Structure 1
Amino acid sequence: MKESNSPPVDINGKPFNRAGFVVVLLMGAFLTILNQTLLVTAIPKIIEDLHVSAYDAQWLITSFMLINGILIPASAYLLHQIESRKLYLIAMGSFILGTIICALSTTFSHLLLGRIIQAIGSGVMIPLVQTLMFLVFPANRRGEAMGLVGIVIAFSPAIGPTLAGWIVDVYHWRYLFYFVLPLAVINLFLAFYLLKNVIPLTKPKLDILSFVLSCIGLGSLLYGISLAGDTGWSNSIVWITCVIGIVILLMFSLRQLRLKEPLLELRVFKSRTFAVTTVIVSIIFMTMIGSEILLPIFTQKILGYSALQSGLILLPGAIVLGIISPISGKIFDRYGIRTLTIVGMTILLIGTFPFMFLTNETTIWWLIFFYMLRMVGMGLTMMPLATAGINALPQKLVSHGTAANNTVRQVFASLGAAIMVGVMTISVRNFSTSQHVLTEAGSYSKAMVKGINNGFMAAFVLVIFAFIICFLIKDNRKGR
């Protein structure tokens, strides 16, 4: 594995085909990540069909996020406890079972159960795929490998609402699961034949208390942040659950630092490169998720487009991101991370700035162009930064690094949506009250545009902060 053109080997030293291995991993990651946003545009139809409230229906998305967040930290333990091939089959099997339950569900409770079982597979799948991709490529091609993963991580959530909008407009919402199911079964079949065991098992002892603290802490924090995105930060339940989550996660962290075999090795953050790159990637990701929520609100509520049309507006940006990600990985492999990051962050800043000045007359092509420009900046930074961070760790900590990176990114993604939507909501309320526009014609439109602009202003400030701290990254190819 030291030579870029030599085939990878399994734990028994037998070489195997990298291409088939990678195709299986990327396909599995695409299907599981796609389901995070696949139901967003289908929620109104589900509410009508299953006779549930909007609050209940949002649990189809919130529960998926919570289970994902809870299981990701445990993935590092599972990777060293269960053979990687078997773990992948278990994760995809869980995802398939959940998909079948969702497709056949006739009640909301059955649909929610299916989503939870889907999320169990997805929560293990994402860090598993990243770790395996990292290990089957030599050091001088890891940027390329993570660029391929970047296509999936960024492209899947973006295409989800567009695909769902089309399916829901033409067919029943259950066809969302009918579409995914055969692809998942094909992936399981390919995985059975093409995946190999590449991670030596160390059989670490499971610390039950650490697992419980992780579940309660992350579950409470993610629930509080998610609730803030729906009800605002003034809700007392939001603060109570967030504080409880932070306190318990602090207890979890202190325990991990004392254990000989921690559930999640937090000493990975002792590496400055890993810590800084993880924070930057998480900030970029949180502004991406927040933007994917605010832009459809603007295009539907202000410009009057349908859910499908709103999704199509985001699609060119997703395609650009898919094209840029592997290219940026190759650039990273050849030239290192510092200059690439500065260029990418500069483009991201330039692309974000115009979104603070949206109006009722903003054209679709204007939105598409600057959204694509933002995606260029993200494509040049996200996965190269993640690769540089993981490269800075010893080989034995790679699985813990990917688990820690994904956990932080999951929290930041939820936080980004809550912050940007929260800023929008507060701005709408304050603008309406202070300007007395509630009785004027077009008052809702004025207040909403103001709120969305302020939401993007929050994103711009976050990107500025990420741009500043990117100068802390050491400029060498290994990222150490």
Structure 2
Amino acid sequence: METKTAKSTSFWLIILSIFFGNFMSILSSTTINVAFPIFMKDFQAELGVVQWMITGFLLATGVVAPVVGYFGDRWSYKRLYIFSLSGFTLFSALCTVAWNIEVLVFFRIMQGVCSGLIIPTTMTMVYQFIEKDRQAFALSLWSLSSMLAPAFGPTLGGWLAGYFGWRSLFLINLPIGLIAIAVALKCLPYYRASQSKTFDLPGFVTVIISSSCIILAFSEGNGWGWTSGKTITFLLIGILTLIYFIRRELALKEPLLNLSVFRTKRFTCSVIINCVITASLYSGTFLIPIFLQDIQQSTAFNTALVLLPGSLVMAVSSPIVGKLYSRTGPFWLILGGIILLIVSTWELSHITLEATHMYVAFWMTIRYIGIALAFMPVMNAGMSAIAKEKSGHASSVTNWMRQATGALSIGIFSSLLTARSVSHQKELTAGAGASAQFIKEQGMTLGVQDVFLTAMIICIVAVPLTFLLKERRKEAVRQSVS
């Protein structure tokens, strides 16, 4: 009984430590957007410069993800986590004393570097520090921290910036960061997969260059133009250096990023499904604010309120899914989640100018339930198939792919929305009798419908892949019991 109680106590202390850091990291990426007008006014800066507080942060997050496996193995994931928490907290403090917008953007990018280390590190620690039979539930709590932050981030950011100024958006990280560091020092066990490892400098340089170029090209491609020299140049450099990096890592005995994890078919399948879910998630979070604010002329605060119920339901559902996983396995949860995504995305592909906030909130809530059902089971189905000593590399790969998918999704959806909206507006203009404002709004609405339809087709692609996860269900159960 004492052993069981001790294990339970240890479990919750580890989860508490992981939860704080992951929550802080993701919260900081969701509170900034609503304060853009305040940053522009206080620093007398252009929107394009201020937007780099988000673009630079997300770019840095994706760029460093591939190196987490190496540094975690070399230093231990506890030390890497404490280092990244300390860096994040330090740069949060430095953001509050920034004397111009360029310095603030730089500190935000450094925050992004630390955030890019925190997220895959916390995910890895679930598989290194938690008993196998409790990993699914632990990952659901890890997911909860990821989902609570976006649920409250925009509303909290708007309230803080409005009443206490933009510095409060960074000051809030200080107590959370200090608590997370203290809990991590006290509660996390020490584990290091390898005692010594050669640092692959060419691999490090090429993965930074390839990640930066590809993510930046996808993020800015719509603004630069997909056929512009800048976009094509960045894509070519990114793709060529990525090919070199992959070939180099596969040839080395001690690679910077162990790509042999892709030889596990279950992991590879889960990563593909994860990317599909990520693309679907970004389609909603990208399109609905545009529909509500640019087309229906709603406020940012009202948009946050429309999205809040779905985010809260998704957060509440996460621990429940963790409990269900141990009983049903991943297949039915993932399949059910993807079906809900398909149905809700199909409904939103018929959205009209007259759609009520209640209608949008309802179908976005159904989408978020689908994401909650599929997200954690997909992650755990893949990660649990990887040996403990390779879990850091598997986590790095997973988060790297998710960041790239997010950038690619927003870039493609943005371009598709613009192209389809213009096409529909031309068709509507050909028919006389409608005002210019109606033509613009109706054209954009039809464009939103087309992008949601595309997102639904992407979801359908994931359905047959879920059956590949069912094939090894008995073996997965046997492993979890052993």
Q: Please give the range of the TM-score, normalised by the shorter of the 2 chains.
A: over 0.9
Matched, 1:153 2:146: yes
Matched, 1:277 2:270: yes
**TM-score normalised to the size of structure 2?**
0.93
Inter-CA distance 447–45: structure 2 relative to 1 (3 Å threshold): farther
**Distance (whole Å) between structure 1 residues aligned to residue 162 and residue 223 of structure 2:** 25
From 133, 145, 148, give the equivalent of 1:140.
133
From 365, 383, 387, give the equivalent of 1:372.
365
**Distance (whole Å) between structure 1 residues aligned to residue 159 and residue 224 of structure 2:** 29
Pairwise mapping of residues 174-189 of structure 1 onto structure 2 (< 5 A)? 174-189=167-182
Tell whether the 8 Å contact from 2:68 to 2:121 is kept in structure 1 after alignment: yes
Deviates more, 1:174-183 or 1:341-350: 174-183
From 403, 416, 423, give the equivalent of 2:409.
416
From 59, 83, 87, give the equivalent of 2:76.
83
From 388, 393, 412, give the equivalent of 1:400.
393
Matched, 1:476 2:473: yes
Pairwise mapping of residues 1-400 of structure 1 onto structure 2 (< 5 A)? 5=4, 17-400=10-393
The aligned residue for residue 439 of structure 2 is 443
**Distance (whole Å) between structure 2 residues aligned to residue 131 and residue 5 of structure 1:** 24
Q: How many aligned positions are there? A: 472
Tell whether the 8 Å contact from 2:31 to 2:153 is kept in structure 1 after alignment: yes
Tell whether the 8 Å contact from 1:328 to 1:380 is kept in structure 2 after alignment: yes
**Distance (whole Å) between structure 2 residues aligned to residue 343 and residue 5 of structure 1:** 34
**Distance (whole Å) between structure 1 residues aligned to residue 193 and residue 85 of structure 2:** 21
- State the Cα deviation string for residues 114-169 of structure 1 (Å, max 9, x = none): 10221121111111101111222222221111111111223323432222223233
Deviates more, 1:170-179 or 1:194-203: 194-203
Structure 1: state its 5+ residue gaps: 9-14
SS at match of 1:442: helix
Q: CA deviation at 1:432?
A: 2.1
- State the Cα deviation string for residues 411-443 of structure 1 (Å, max 9, x = none): 011111112222111111222233327963422
The aligned residue for residue 431 of structure 1 is 424
SS at match of 1:77: helix
**Distance (whole Å) between structure 2 residues aligned to residue 52 and residue 476 of structure 1:** 55
Specify the code of the residue in structure 1 equivalent to 2:196.
Answer: K
Specify the code of the residue in structure 2 equivalent to 1:458.
Answer: T
Tell whether the 8 Å contact from 2:15 to 2:142 is kept in structure 1 after alignment: no
Deviates more, 1:146-155 or 1:368-377: 146-155
Matched, 1:464 2:460: yes
Inter-CA distance 384–234: structure 2 relative to 1 (3 Å threshold): same
Tell whether the 8 Å contact from 1:271 to 1:393 is kept in structure 2 after alignment: yes
**Distance (whole Å) between structure 1 residues aligned to residue 99 and residue 237 of structure 2:** 36
SS at match of 2:226: coil
Q: CA deviation at 1:5?
A: 4.2
**Distance (whole Å) between structure 2 residues aligned to residue 216 and residue 169 of structure 1:** 38
Tell whether the 8 Å contact from 2:274 to 2:379 is kept in structure 1 after alignment: yes
Inter-CA distance 60–359: structure 2 relative to 1 (3 Å threshold): same
Specify the code of the residue in structure 2 equivalent to 1:93.
Answer: S
Tell whether the 8 Å contact from 1:221 to 1:241 is kept in structure 2 after alignment: yes
The aligned residue for residue 12 of structure 1 is none
SS at match of 2:352: coil
Identity %: 27
Q: CA deviation at 1:229?
A: 4.4
**Distance (whole Å) between structure 2 residues aligned to residue 274 and residue 344 of structure 1:** 19
Tell whether the 8 Å contact from 2:127 to 2:388 is kept in structure 1 after alignment: no
Q: CA deviation at 1:179?
A: 2.1
Structure 2: state its 5+ residue gaps: none
Matched, 1:452 2:448: yes
Q: CA deviation at 1:84?
A: 2.7
Q: CA deviation at 1:478?
A: 5.6
| RMSD, aligned α-carbons | 2.1
SS at match of 2:298: coil
- State the Cα deviation string for residues 172-215 of structure 1 (Å, max 9, x = none): 22221122222222222222222221334432111100000100
